[in-house]
Amino acid sequence: MGPKTQRVYETIRSWIEGGRFPAGEKLPSERALSTELDIGRTALRQVLARLVSEHFIKAYDRSSYRILGGEAPAPSEGVPWKIHGSRPVYENPWVSLDLVDVEPPGVERFEHHVVRLFRVAVTAVLDDQDRVLMLWRYRFVPQQWGWELPGGIVDAGEDVAATAARETEEETGWRPGSVKHVVSYQPMIGMVDSPHEIFVAHGAEKVGEPTDAEEAGEVAWIPLDDIPRLMSEGKLMGSGTLVALLHILASRSRGAL
């Protein structure tokens, strides 16, 4: 960089670090920056490219940039474990247990237990009163009563969004509006393969009583303002419920719901 481009680089960086443009805000257009800083567009783009590479800004669309706040770059991927084979230990229609022959980089091969479960869809249905549709249930494994979101196993060949809507209706008697996928995750990634898909829906129609007698519990619309308290009291059960509700609370705080 020449003296002028270095000056412009330091000026824009000082604006970012000094808070003139907070994280998430767009930078002025290239034309506006070029005029204000008395620099040609070609030289300005060199400055912006450097700020992108240093993770102060991110390019969006054509000649548009947003402030990142200097986030560190994502770490590069290392060498994955080698998988030499797998043998079943136990299997039934609901769960399987395998011993997988693995070799981490620089470590002697060993057999790793892996529990495999079905893909699950969980749905948070919101109404126009800032409430979420939930079930009060007893779970015998932890021997605990608590609130959960409706959800269940994705049938073979079934669309995951269709599962989310179907399970909600079967378990609550409410048919949700259009469901939107918001996140996929694994709750116990070290040893258990259990893919979870989280959906959010706005609005629902009461179509009857729950049809899944095994899963049915007390159905209620819970105010979102009560969720932090229920969470702190340990009355929210299941990782799918927690992940979905945390997503909603975070989106709500940003005004993104």
The whole model's pTM is what? Answer: 0.70
Q: Does 73 score more than 60 pLDDT? A: no
* SS3 per-residue string spanning 45-84: HHHHHHHHHCCCEEEECCCEEEECCCCCCCCCCCCCCEEE
CB 130 within 8 A of CB 150: no
Q: How many CB atoms lie within 10 A of CB 164?
A: 28
Lowest mean pLDDT among 104-113, 166-175, 228-237: 104-113
Mean pLDDT within 108-136: 96
Those residues with Cβ within 8 angstroms of residue 138's Cβ, 6 or more apart along the chain or in another chain: 144, 145, 217
Mean per-residue pLDDT over the chain, rounded: 89
Instruction: Identify each DSSP E strand in 127-212 by its residue range.
Output: 131-139, 144-148, 151-153, 174-176, 179-185, 192-193, 196-202, 204-206
For residue 42, pLDDT beyond 90 = no
Cα-based distances in Å from 2 to 12, 16, 30, 43, 46: 16, 21, 19, 9, 11
At 61 the pLDDT is 61
pLDDT at 71 over 60: no
Q: β-pairing, 110-116 with 192-193?
A: parallel
CA neighbor of 87 nearest in space, from 96, 78, 79: 96
Higher pLDDT among residues 59 and 200, named by residue:
200
Q: Which stretches within 95-191 are classed as H helix?
A: 160-172
State the average pLDDT over residues 175-202.
95
- Amino acid type, 233: E
- Residue 216's pLDDT is what? 54
